[in-house]
Structure 1
Amino acid sequence: MGANVRNVGGTLYVAKRQTVRELNDVAVLIWRTIESGATVSEIVDVVTSEYSVSEEEAERDTIDFLSSLEQDGLVVASDNG
């Protein structure tokens, strides 16, 4: 993905160019799932299995988070799902 990922004191930071993000627990789970090459549907499944949220809420929040990462140039969307 071309981003630098650092774990500092248990907090995961993702940086690319001048953009730095501190990720909460759900965002860390999503980021790690992205790194494994998962589709959006697979990410939603992982989020719903780890947290007490509906599939609809997990999908909405996942898509919002991925969109913000894409806008910051931290990920690139593909047509794989």
Structure 2
Amino acid sequence: MNNKGIGAVAKGAWMLGSVDAIAHRIAQVAGPGFEVSTRRGKSRAVSSVYSATDEAKKAEAENRALTRAIDAGRSS
């Protein structure tokens, strides 16, 4: 196994774009106030969806808006 090659793919531009697109789909389904952060981690591309507004925090707390939106990231 070529660990350097795997690491290059896991942190590469294509992977960054892929995880960013998935995170944006999840944020869109979750609703207004959810934002995306994508970065190159130490060993892989990383995206997070987070509640950026009080309304989004309330939507997650009361209706699990973000939790329910996770399935949007599972389909391609």
- TM-score using structure 1 length: 0.32
**Bigger relative CO (Cα 8 Å, ≥ 6 apart):** 2
